[in-house]
Amino acid sequence: MIMKLYLIDDLIPIIQKLKQQRKTVVFTNGCFDILHAGHVQYLQEAKKQGDILVIGLNSDSSVSTIKGPKRPIVNEQHRAFVLAGLSCVDYITIFDESDPLNVIRQLMPHILVKGSDWAECDIVGADIVKARGGQVVRIHLVPDISTTEIIRRILQREYS
């Protein structure tokens, strides 16, 4: 059982209550397949933007749609379990769509975080968050580390 993992319908009232307590809700999303140092640094920086960090985790089917049929490497329940082990992560919800727009609409975070590799105009939900007085924060990514790069390096190595 993953204590930080909630269905979106169960998470909505929790987030509403936290907002009533004047907590700043930060939202980010991603696949987080093969969690690495870049992911951890990104999530720690995201948490610094407010009080509560919510992750929208792409489901296995969503990851396959985005990354291709050979992904994810790690299934959604295991990815959620690893993310839940990070102290900077407060809540996780898994979504099936290719983007988190519906989750963002339902949670209405104060702050939406994405990596600096995304132009603000391309960040899904940025317009909605900003229209409600929230902000969009782009966080610098650790160079030369990504799940795709890790997979590439593994495949290039020869094992005897």
Compute the distance between CA of residue 117 and CA of residue 123 in angstroms, rounded to an integer.
10
What DSSP string runs through 29-61? EE---S--HHHHHHHHHHHTTSSEEEEEEEPHH
Overall average pLDDT of the 6-26 stretch: 98
Residue 34: domain span: 1-85+143-160
In sequence order, the β-bridge partners of residue 53 are: 26
100 within some domain: no
Q: Does residue 154 lie in a domain region?
A: yes
Residue 111 within a domain: no
- From CA 37, how far away is CA 41, in angstroms rounded? 6
Give a yes or no: residue 134 inside a domain. no
| pLDDT tens by residue, 110-159 | 999 999 999 999 999 999 999 999 999 999 998 888 888 898 888 888 76
pLDDT digits (tens, 9 = 90+) for 28-71: 999 999 999 999 999 999 999 999 999 999 999 999 999 999 99
Asked if residue 147 belongs to a domain, the reply is: yes
> Residue 135, SS3?
strand
Residue 123 counted as domain residue: no
**Cα separations (Å) of 60 from 78, 86, 93, 125?**
11, 21, 13, 21
CATH number at residue 11: 3.40.50
* 94 in a structural domain: no
Residue type, 139: I
Question: Strand 91-95's sheet: what is its strand order?
Answer: 91-95, 52-58, 25-30, 111-115, 135-139
Q: Tell me if 64 is assigned to some domain.
A: yes
Number of domains present in the structure of the chain? 1
